[in-house]
Structure 1
Amino acid sequence: MRAVFLLLCQLFSLVVAVLPSVDLSCNKYTGVSTPDGITKWLGIRYAAPPLGNLRFMPPEDPPCSHSTLPADQSGKICISTGSSPPSDGTSEDCLFIDVFAPTNATQESGLPVFFFIQGGGFNSDSNPNMDGTGLIVASAYSMVVVTFNYRVGPYGFITDGDKVKANNGLRDQRKAMEWVQKHITQFGGDPDHVVLGGDSAGAASISLQMVAYGGEDSGLFHAAAAESVSFGPVLTIEESQYQFDNFSAKLGCSGSGALACLRNKTSTELQTVNVPIPYPGESEAPLYMWNPVIDDDFLVDYTYNMFAYGKFVKIPVIFGDDTNGGTVFTPQGTSTLAESNTFLRAQFPDLTKDQLEEIDDMYPNPNDTCPSTGCYWRQVSNVYGDMRYTCPGLYISSAARHYGVRNSFNYRYNVEDPQQVAAGYGVPHTAELAAIWGPDNVQGGAPQSYYANGTNEDVVPVIQAYWTSFILTFDPNTYRYPGSAKWEKWDDDKQNRLLFQTGGKTIMETVDEDTQSHCEYFQSIGVDIKQR
């Protein structure tokens, strides 16, 4: 009799669980269930379309239709700086969220939630429509995955004194987190167990959300795993005024009516002038011009200072980077030390002559073929990779431990793909994304070596086991892959981090002395060069 009862309960649970419709108060959405036991709800609005008078404004609640809407296709991607006019795949109307959950999950399941913030230098959404299937399967169907779009470029980060609320791209992210708190139980998720994930600017966003509003703990997230956190330059509202003035002047908008004039322009018109310009006094434009700013509200100080003073949310964290994180950004034709320094000044305009000379001494050119075209590419790549990515990640790992976070972990990803190595990139920026999500789930961004029978096929289950363990338990070791190394907690004295190697091998390593000394220097000048 008991067996029959349990069978009936199970069947009832399955009947309830496989219905892909969810009721979000004023809107209902119908998702799609797949044969592999995953249900996807794609293209749900988490905020109102930021159009018309809502352009350049903080996000507002989505409109109510009081009807059932299909959620079978991801929403359009936010418009990028430097891109063509809006197309079938991009739009200003882009504030959409995707949810992936086990089909058998119910409102009572209380599954951990992985909330992923994509990168793109705050000037593009560069990892759109990532598919959570691989991570859910790797977790034994024990988690919910959330991805979303947020505004970038001028649409998310333009400022104009007190006339425009600053940092709206970051506010979009927070709006999506608030949406999760309100609705994720409908998909089987636990709002009290949300783990942030993110790469590059998405990892930077994690650090900025940790220090937001002076480091206030809003209860929106409870742990974070960040790949290649990026510390670019951050200006104040006043220092960024030249961006608004230049942008509006090119569109024939000026004076007291400039903002209203910009709101009356089409996005096609805006895109004709949405290109980066140099910082004042510099000759070359930075890679990423539009950035978060210190507004004495969302962001009150430089990120280096916030972590130094302990003004951040104390949560379990993973931070790490790739061995050659600078190669995809720096000009391959860099042929002289002067050209290397010009590139660095274009990105960090507050670098002084003395600081550049110190950096040049720390990073001698490893290429002995000069003079030749591109012979300084690896030198400038090494500097940029350490300054912008590696050293900030190590700094946050140390700050977390210093202020009482026991579960602070760091890693270096050194998994070599033959094609990337042959192209001179080494192990480039955010290469680990294809392994964490699985090569079939990153929208064509995976190297061939990560697929079945490839040299790096085995790294996928290894890194997924660490990541899903951390998402489920805040500890990457709980369900780590058999034979993989125990990931030791970061220790300032030991400088210990996990090393991912080609073919899926893992060992603990000590950060080498050169990297330690270079990072000490970069951390000492971080505030001087306005790194966020």
Structure 2
Amino acid sequence: MKANSTLPALVIASFPSLGLCVNPLVNVTYSQYIGQPLASGITQWLGIRYAAPPLGNLRFAPPQDPPFEATPQAANKNGKFCLKTNGDPNTKATSEDCLFLDVYAPSNATARSKLPVFVFIQGGGFNSNSDPNINGSGLIAASNNSVVFVTFNYRVGPYGFLTDGENTTANNGLRDQRKVLEWVQKYIARFGGDPDHVVIGGASAGAASISLHMVANGGKDRGLFHAAAAESVAFPTVLTVNESRYQYDNLATRMGCVGNDTLSCLRSKTSRQLQKKNTNIPYPGSSKPPLYMWNPVIDDDFLMELPHTSFRDGNFIKVPAIFGDDTNGGTIFAPCKTSTKGESNQFIKDQFPYITAKQLEKLNELYPNPAQDLCPQSGCWWRQASNVYGEMRYMCPGFFINTELVRNGVNASYSYRWNVEDAKQMADGLGVPHTAEVDALFGPYNVRGPAPGSYYPNGTNAHAVPVIQGYWVSFIKTFNPNEYRCCGSAEWKPWTEKLGQRLRFDTGGETSMESLDAGLKGRCEYLDSIAVDLHQ
């Protein structure tokens, strides 16, 4: 299956050379792709195949090199994004043949331009591609057309993270991501980028992916990236291959694949057949399925140990980094009808099955229910559950990585809090929810689905867009967010272990530095102390 149509030879002949980005025709050795020059002075190449279709015997296998294409391909259409868990088996927006990337570059760049490269890893809890087809034009325009942008799809759910520990390789979704980073090293110069100046970015599971590439193979530096900018890094439950075996066995049973060769049986099924059974199940001993069951696992290869352990012991790649979060990162995850302390505790237990009753009791003490006086109103424990989940999975792990970077000699470690309030999100009780800053970072017209109204021109938070873009462009270009910051925004001071200072983005695009309050510090210290117990 091909993502793009081919162009006739007469059209191909109109592009005289293959080496320059001013020429939309770019040769990546296994194929040639014809990009689209835009009126903005940016050229986009959409739907570039970076790996072989993961079909047949390549299902549940590491990514392989893409096939040779003799005819130049029109890179004018996004590739379909990857099949998700709990997804509609009849949707045409997704496909198992989904390993495509997009490149955006200034049209006047050449193979000698050596522009900084920003590779963005989308989120989705490793169970979906939640931010496919982000348009990089807004961020490039904010840089005055001086960076190159890459985004891509990668396998998720069982397609990316199923393993039986014997016949299948684990963590293939992460291996897809590494395949892209290797592709960037080989080919990005042909689009005007510098393979020796690559910043990886990502949100949620994309930010988690950043942390996992930092600790991969025991922290071995392969030279694939040189700085990182992570929005809402996630520390989910991480199992060993053996601990995750129940997921494989359960899916095989549901698919009718029993006997001596369950893998061949699973590979013989159509993707539509698999999608009908691709649903989450509870962790052993839990009552309900977690929000995101399929996760990277410790395989003694890509992941050698728990991420928390790797960072604590200094077994990670030391690069300049941004790790930040949103004020109310848990509100979109906790069930809004959570009405009792028991329901709140059970929600946390379903996500983190190794948590003990004593640890839950301590969390209830650290996170008193803000709606206590209103109970037993339906949903009155929602915010308590969301506060625990938001800090346990997202906010505190970000502080932990910031601290470990500084302890290991990385002075360019930056933290932030996105506290930009949108009127509708506030009215819905979400506060400033998970990864809200992505809409501002890329610009409200460049993300999938409608962004909050306040981020559009003349909106309350329209000014927040150039502010965050200024910091990120500066970091992408110099590994320092201050060099090209815009609009009178505050100097972003690096993280220090003692002060725990971070940049606060406020409504309307206002910015200032703040130190962590004692309560947040205390909660994060406790969560850090039990992170290994929780298998984070």
Structure 2 vs 1, CA of residues 315 and 300 (structure 1 numbering), >3 Å: closer, same or farther? Answer: same
- Which letter does structure 2 place at the counterpart of 1:398? T
Number of aligned residues: 519
Paired residues of 1:79 and 1:86 also in contact (CA < 8 A): no
Q: Does 1:149 align with 2:153?
A: yes
SS in structure 2 at match of 1:442: coil
Give the corresponding residue for 2:24: 20
Aligned pairs for 1:95-174 (under 5 A) are 95-174=99-178
Give the corresponding residue for 2:392: 387
Q: Tell me how far 1:18 sits from its aligned partner.
A: 2.9
Alpha-carbon distance between aligned partners in 1 of 2:379 and 2:33, rounded to the nearest angstrom = 53
Paired residues of 2:30 and 2:66 also in contact (CA < 8 A): no
Give the corresponding residue for 2:455: 450
Give the corresponding residue for 1:226: 230
Give the corresponding residue for 2:6: none
Residue-by-residue CA offset, 1:139-196 (whole Å, 9 max, x unaligned): 1110000000000000000010221100000000000100000000110000000000
Alpha-carbon distance between aligned partners in 1 of 2:387 and 2:21, rounded to the nearest angstrom = 50
SS in structure 1 at match of 2:415: strand
Q: What are the ranges of 5 or more consecutive residues in structure 1 without an aligned counterpart? A: 1-11
Alpha-carbon distance between aligned partners in 2 of 1:505 and 1:38, rounded to the nearest angstrom = 30
Q: Does 1:50 align with 2:54?
A: yes
Give the corresponding residue for 1:423: 428
Q: Does 1:362 align with 2:362?
A: no
Alpha-carbon distance between aligned partners in 2 of 1:109 and 1:206, rounded to the nearest angstrom = 26
Give the corresponding residue for 2:76: 72
Q: Does 1:475 align with 2:480?
A: yes
Q: Identity, % of aligned pairs? A: 61
Alpha-carbon distance between aligned partners in 2 of 1:217 and 1:282, rounded to the nearest angstrom = 38
- Which letter does structure 2 place at the counterpart of 1:273? K
Q: Does 1:504 align with 2:509?
A: yes
Give the corresponding residue for 1:178: 182
- Which letter does structure 2 place at the counterpart of 1:437? F
- Which letter does structure 1 place at the counterpart of 2:231? E
Alpha-carbon distance between aligned partners in 2 of 1:394 and 1:17, rounded to the nearest angstrom = 40
Give the corresponding residue for 1:6: none
> 1:247 pairs with 239, 243, 251, which one?
251
Give the corresponding residue for 2:521: 516
Q: Does 1:345 align with 2:349?
A: yes
> 2:218 pairs with 181, 196, 214, which one?
214
Q: Does 1:413 align with 2:418?
A: yes
Paired residues of 2:20 and 2:26 also in contact (CA < 8 A): no
SS in structure 1 at match of 2:120: strand
SS in structure 2 at match of 1:441: coil
Residue-by-residue CA offset, 1:504-524 (whole Å, 9 max, x unaligned): 000000011111000000000
- Which letter does structure 2 place at the counterpart of 1:395? F
Give the corresponding residue for 1:279: 283
- Which letter does structure 1 place at the counterpart of 2:457? A
Residue-by-residue CA offset, 1:122-145 (whole Å, 9 max, x unaligned): 000000000000110001110000
Residue-by-residue CA offset, 1:94-127 (whole Å, 9 max, x unaligned): 0000000001111010000000000000000000
Residue-by-residue CA offset, 1:476-520 (whole Å, 9 max, x unaligned): 000111311000010011110000000000000001111100000
Q: What are the ranges of 5 or more consecutive residues in structure 2 without an aligned counterpart? A: 1-15
Give the corresponding residue for 1:85: 89
Q: Does 1:399 align with 2:404?
A: yes
Paired residues of 1:45 and 1:95 also in contact (CA < 8 A): yes
> 1:371 pairs with 370, 376, 380, which one?
376
Alpha-carbon distance between aligned partners in 1 of 2:59 and 2:309, rounded to the nearest angstrom = 32
Give the corresponding residue for 1:257: 261
Give the corresponding residue for 1:9: none
Paired residues of 2:21 and 2:190 also in contact (CA < 8 A): no
Residue-by-residue CA offset, 1:289-333 (whole Å, 9 max, x unaligned): 111000000000111110000000000000000000000001000
Q: Tell me how far 1:17 sits from its aligned partner.
A: 4.3
Residue-by-residue CA offset, 1:372-423 (whole Å, 9 max, x unaligned): 1000011100000000000000000000000000100000010000000000
CA RMSD in angstroms, aligned pairs only: 1.1
Q: Tell me how far 1:235 sits from its aligned partner.
A: 0.4
SS in structure 1 at match of 2:471: helix
Q: Does 1:489 align with 2:494?
A: yes
Paired residues of 2:116 and 2:146 also in contact (CA < 8 A): yes
Paired residues of 2:82 and 2:94 also in contact (CA < 8 A): yes
- Which letter does structure 2 place at the counterpart of 1:460? V
> 2:271 pairs with 256, 267, 272, which one?
267
Alpha-carbon distance between aligned partners in 1 of 2:20 and 2:392, rounded to the nearest angstrom = 51
Give the corresponding residue for 1:312: 316
